Amino acid sequence: MIEVLSSTYFKYLVVPLLATIFVIFIKSVSRNDRQHNTFLKKEDFAFGLEMGVTAILLLLGNSVTMAQQTISDPSIVSVVNEKLLFVGWIALALSFGLWGVSTIVRRLGWQGETELKIFWGIIFPDIFGLVVLIYVVSIIGF
């Protein structure tokens, strides 16, 4: 089991795939049944912004874990401080990226009041979210 969980394929393929499927499922089953009687809509596949938020939260959660390690081992304070500074800049950049992508979706991604365009409303933010999630998973050593 450890070999599977620690493999590169699991880290970069299975984790993002499971996260994607889970988000689509949750969006689908939480929809109001009285207004929408279909199980899946194309808007359910717009998971990129949620993935971006998840990636930032993973990064920040990992930062807390790194900071807590300095309590038990004070000799690593300087290394952890250096990493936390890097993580802070990455989190800031990802937050601005998420803000920019959400602005693009707001301006270019809607066909009507309730329907997203395929590229600017679904595909573009999904690519952003998956790339950010895979990047964060790779730098935190998850």
Domain boundary assignment for the chain: 2-140
pLDDT reported for residue 4: 80
- Residue 44 in this model has a pLDDT that exceeds 80: yes
pLDDT reported for residue 5: 78
Q: Could you report the per-residue pLDDT of 111-142, keeping only the tens digit for each?
A: 988 889 999 999 999 999 999 998 998 888 65
Length of the chain: 142
- Residue 43 in this model has a pLDDT that exceeds 90: no
Q: Could you report the per-residue pLDDT of 48-80, keeping only the tens digit for each?
A: 999 999 999 999 988 888 888 888 888 888 888
DSSP the chain: -HHHHTSHHIIIIIHHHHHHHHHHHHHHHTS-TTT---S--GGGG--HHHHHHHHHHHHHHHHHHHHHHHHH-GGGHHHHHHHHHHHHHHHHHHHHHHHHHHHHHHHHSBSSSS-B-IIIIIIHHHHHHHHHHHHHHHHHT-
In percent, the amount of the chain with pLDDT more than 90 equals: 37
What average pLDDT does the chain have? 87
Q: Could you report the per-residue pLDDT of 7-31, keeping only the tens digit for each?
A: 888 877 888 888 888 888 888 888 7
pLDDT reported for residue 36: 61
- Residue 35 in this model has a pLDDT that exceeds 70: no
